Amino acid sequence: MKRIVTRVSRYASHPMVKNSAIVFGGTMFANFLAYLYHLIVGRMLGPARYGELAALISIYYILNAPSTILQNIMVKFFSQLKAKNELGEAKQLFISISKGIVVFGIIAFILLVPFTKFFASYLNIRQPVYLIWLYLMFATYLFSIIAISMLQGFQKFIAIAALQNIGGALRLIVGVIGATISVGWTLFLGIIANVFGYLLTLIPLRSILSNKPKKISMSAKSAIVYSVPTFIAIFCMTALYSQDVVLVKHFFPPELAGIYSSLSVLGKIIFFASSSVGLVSFPLLAERKELGKEFTSIVFLSLVGVGIMSFGLTLGYYLFPSLVVNLLFGKAFLSASVYLGSFGLFISFYTLANLFVTMYLALGETLVWIFAVLAAAAQTLTMNIFHSSLHTIIWNNTLIVGILFLVLLIYYPYVRRKS
């Protein structure tokens, strides 16, 4: 008994477990606010209009793939600078990336405008201007990603949790206000929330940003060698849990697309509930890799934590599907309950596979982009060929991400020996 208590105590004091608990506890309320947003806005708009908004939000997730990619790359570099205590270089990196985002945002906006009518027609979006508001939401959020990446790289997890709660509250408030008017206003007010959220992220960074900028010592070549495959890997992993909603919107009638969109939201509860583990493990792994320290315990604890949370929630989805759907979306979406358990299984395997990919990237193992590309391509191909029912789509997706997880698991011994 004493041995068990000692072992539990040792695991509880492990930086991975301790920091994950801080982030998990702090961000659960933010996740609750995020799904309260979908609950209230979904009920206010109804299945058809909510299906339109959900498709737009899924496009937002795909657009945000660059921000997720940028975040992982920046966290990797900020973690390395933290390990070397180079605060001046960290400030210079923050400034340089911010300037680059401004240039990128303007160019991308100019290129997007001529094609808004075409994209709106393909996705059955009534107002092309919705895509403009969607892009501006994405562009303004990119600046917050830079600040959050610095906080994550310097392991300021309490500040991250607090900012996520404040941001979730802002999105909920403006979402409810916007939904009383239209889908367009819901998107437009989201832009305002993002700008205000960015200003708040600068507050806990004052101790770092007050330092004098210093020339960055890392070479451009090494940054590119890491960034390009990382971009591809994370983009494809983001597509794996976003493009299905867009394609269902294309292949199925509005009501059924709205039902699938509600499933996607409920499935993402699993993903976001365990996201705190990946948020903590990435900078810890990157720092340990930089310092040449052991990292197997972090990988093990991360997989166990995510596995327990993911499959635990999936079991609840199998046992109480109608209760979950009715509680979060209401009776109009009850037909989604027959798909909920299998969709939870899909997201659980996806969550584990995504965790593996991010951990490998933290360790500098960028060849995982190949696995991510093959999985995303397989999903696109199977959905375009086999889309007779929502059941078919869900089980095909589950098979794809399940195989991806197994491949990444088998790949780990090679990564450990190489490191």
- For residue 266, being part of any structural domain is answered with yes
Instruction: State the residue range of the domain holding 59.
Output: 9-418
Task: Let me know: does 265 contact 8? Beta carbons within 8 Å.
Answer: no
> Residue written as tokens 């979908």?
38
Residue 354: predicted pLDDT: 94
- For residue 84, being part of any structural domain is answered with yes
Q: What span, in angstroms and rounded, lies between the C-alpha atoms of 211 and 199?
A: 19
- For residue 45, being part of any structural domain is answered with yes
Residue 346: predicted pLDDT: 93
Residue 2: predicted pLDDT: 52
Residue-wise pLDDT for 82-133, tens only, equals 888 888 888 898 988 888 888 888 888 888 888 788 877 776 677 777 788 8
Q: What type of residue sits at position 176? A: V
Residue 5: predicted pLDDT: 46
Q: What span, in angstroms and rounded, lies between the C-alpha atoms of 379 and 397?
A: 6
Structural domains of the chain, count: 1
CB-count burial class (<10 Å; 0-12, 13-18, 19+) for 9 = exposed
- For residue 33, being part of any structural domain is answered with yes
- For residue 1, being part of any structural domain is answered with no
Residue-wise pLDDT for 146-174, tens only, equals 888 899 888 888 888 888 788 878 887 87
- For residue 228, being part of any structural domain is answered with yes
Task: Let me know: does 261 contact 55? Beta carbons within 8 Å.
Answer: yes
pTM of the entire structure? 0.71
Residue 48: predicted pLDDT: 65
Size of the chain in residues: 419
Residue 19: predicted pLDDT: 64
Task: Let me know: does 36 contact 172? Beta carbons within 8 Å.
Answer: yes
Instruction: Give the residue ranges of the chain where pLDDT is below 50.
Output: 4-5, 8
- For residue 81, being part of any structural domain is answered with yes
Joined together, the tokens standing for residue 231 give 């971009």
Joined together, the tokens standing for residue 9 give 């105590």
Task: Let me know: does 161 contact 87? Beta carbons within 8 Å.
Answer: no
Q: What span, in angstroms and rounded, lies between the C-alpha atoms of 8 and 14?
A: 10
Q: Helix, strand or coil for residue 85?
A: coil
Other residues' Cβ atoms within 10 Å of the Cβ of residue 68: 17
First vs last C-alpha separation in the chain: 36
Cα Rg for the chain, rounded, in angstroms? Answer: 21
- For residue 411, being part of any structural domain is answered with yes
Q: What span, in angstroms and rounded, lies between the C-alpha atoms of 233 and 371?
A: 8
